Amino acid sequence: MAKKKIITLVAIILATAGALVALYIVNNLEEEVVEVPPPVERPFVLGGDGAASPVAQTVEIHNEHGSFVIVNEDPDAQPQRFTIQGLEDYSLQTSRVNAIASSARSLAATELLFEGDADIAALGLNAPTATVNIQYVDGTSAVLLISDNVPGGGGAYAMLEGDTNVYLIPRTAAENFFHRELDLVDHGITEMPPDMPNILTAVLGGSVRDELIVIERVEPDPDGPMIFHSHVIVEPIQNRLNNTRGVEPLAQSFGLRADRVVAHFGSPEELAAWGLDEPFSTIEIESEADDNFTLMVSAPDEDGMVYLVRENLPFVYQVDSAILPWLELTFFEMMERLLILPFIDDVGLLEIITPDRTIHITLEGEGNELEVFLDGEPYEAVGGVDPVRNFRALYQDFLVTSYEALPEEPKPADAPIILQFIYHYRDGRPSDVVTIYEGAARRVFVQLNDETPMLGLSSFVDHLFRSIERFLDGEQVVGYF
Domains of the chain, with CATH numbers? 44-184 (2.60.40), 199-334 (no CATH), 344-472 (no CATH)
Residue 454's CB is within 10 A of a number of other CB atoms, namely: 24
Hey, how many other C-beta atoms are within 10 angstroms of the C-beta on 352? 19
**99 has pLDDT over 60:** yes
Residue 11 has pLDDT above 70, yes or no: no
- pLDDT per position as a tens digit, 231-280: 999 999 989 999 899 999 999 999 999 999 999 999 999 999 999 999 99
Strand (E) positions, 342-416?
347-353, 358-364, 371-374, 377-378
Q: What percent of the chain has pLDDT over 90?
A: 76
Q: How far is CA 202 from CA 197, 205, 294, 295, 330, in A?
A: 12, 10, 10, 11, 13
CA count, 13 A, side-chain hemisphere, 89: 5
Spacing of C-alpha 79 from chain mean position: 32
CB 346 within 8 A of CB 427: yes
E strands in 128-198 = 130-136, 141-147, 156-160, 165-169
Q: Is the pLDDT of residue 215 over 50?
A: yes
**Greatest CA separation found in the chain?**
131
For residues 184 and 84, the answer to whether their CB atoms sit within 8 Å is: yes
Helix (H, G, I), strand (E, B) or coil at 146: strand
**pLDDT score recorded for residue 75:** 86
pTM of the model: 0.79
Banded pLDDT at 66 (limits 50, 70, 90): very high
What pLDDT digit, counting tens, does each position of 161-174 carry?
999 999 999 999 99
CA distance 149 to 122: 9
